[in-house]
């Protein structure tokens, strides 16, 4: 039928958001893996640089959620309890043009936790082999920030595992094509395709942001 969405799907996610997603996966994986290694040489550097990359990426995503593509903006997909309950009763992930109402809040939660984790890591120290790049400015808060940094890291690992299970469920059982959508940017949808921002706008936000944070943190 002419009014139906095309079988191959419509463009939902811009290239900048897709690159952000996979870059964050890599940075978080390196950060988490290096956290469980002895903090000598390469592992200490890996943990520091990966953590700073996570911070830069999350800050960019927050800005992109305010000034980026329509599907990336928080105002376009963050909904209240009524929308969440309606989705749980009648929702179909394949028909959601972007994040579904439940997934939207998981995105917000992950971003906030990653932001807190990365910021606390800047001031964390084990008083022996490893210290964050700004740990000398933490003062009496260093111990608490280090403990919270470790605890938040465990929470994030659990949420990452849950996220993978949910994606597998919607991909294999619901046939929603979530992984494919985050690779190609297209997804079957019942609504119109959202307006996507130019990748040059993404670069215009990322470059000064990354340069400023890298200089302020690592000098």
Has residue 94 got a pLDDT over 80? no
> What separation in angstroms does the CA of 108 have from each of 83, 111, 112, 185?
16, 5, 6, 20
Q: What phi-psi label fits residue 197: left (phi over 0), alpha (psi between -120 and 50 degrees) or beta?
A: beta
Residue 6 confidence (pLDDT): 43
Has residue 4 got a pLDDT over 60? no
Residue 14: alpha-carbon gap to chain centroid: 15
Residue 91 confidence (pLDDT): 61
Give me the CATH topology for the region 15-218. Fumarate Reductase Cytochrome B subunit (1.20.950)
> What separation in angstroms does the CA of 170 have from each of 13, 60, 108, 119, 173?
18, 27, 19, 32, 6
Whether pTM exceeds 0.85: yes
Of how many residues is the chain composed?
Answer: 219
In the predicted model, what is the mean pLDDT of residues 185-190? 71
Taking the C-alpha atoms of residue 56 and residue 65, their distance in angstroms, rounded to an integer, is: 14
Residue 57: alpha-carbon gap to chain centroid: 8
Residue 1 confidence (pLDDT): 37
Reported as a single tens digit per residue, the pLDDT across 28-81 is 999 999 999 987 779 999 999 999 999 999 999 999 999 999 989 998 888 877
Mean predicted lDDT score pLDDT of the chain: 87
Q: Which of 13-17, 147-151, 172-176 has the lowest mean pLDDT?
A: 172-176
Domain definitions of the chain by residue range: 15-218
In the predicted model, what is the mean pLDDT of residues 113-129? 91
């Amino acid at each position: 039928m002419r009014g139906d969405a095309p079988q191959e799907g419509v463009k939902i996610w811009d290239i900048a958001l897709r690159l952000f997603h996979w870059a964050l996966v890599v940075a978080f994986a390196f950060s988490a893996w290096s956290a469980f290694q002895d903090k000598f040489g390469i592992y200490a550097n890996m943990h520091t640089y990966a953590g700073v990359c996570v911070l830069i990426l999350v800050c960019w995503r927050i800005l992109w959620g305010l000034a980026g593509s329509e599907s990336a903006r928080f105002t376009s997909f963050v909904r209240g309890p009524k929308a969440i309950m309606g989705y749980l009763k009648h929702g179909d992930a394949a028909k959601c043009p972007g994040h579904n109402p439940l997934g939207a809040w998981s995105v917000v939660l992950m971003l906030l936790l990653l932001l807190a984790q990365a910021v606390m890591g800047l001031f964390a120290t084990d008083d022996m082999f490893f210290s964050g790049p700004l740990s000398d400015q933490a003062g009496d808060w260093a111990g608490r920030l280090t403990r919270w940094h470790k605890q938040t890291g465990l929470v994030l690992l659990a949420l990452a595992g849950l996220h993978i299970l949910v994606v597998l469920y919607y991909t294999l059982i619901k046939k929603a094509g979530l992984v494919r959508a985050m690779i190609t940017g297209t997804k079957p949808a019942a609504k119109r395709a959202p307006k996507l921002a130019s990748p040059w706008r993404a670069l215009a936000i990322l470059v000064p942001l990354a340069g400023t944070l890298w200089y302020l943190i690592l000098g």
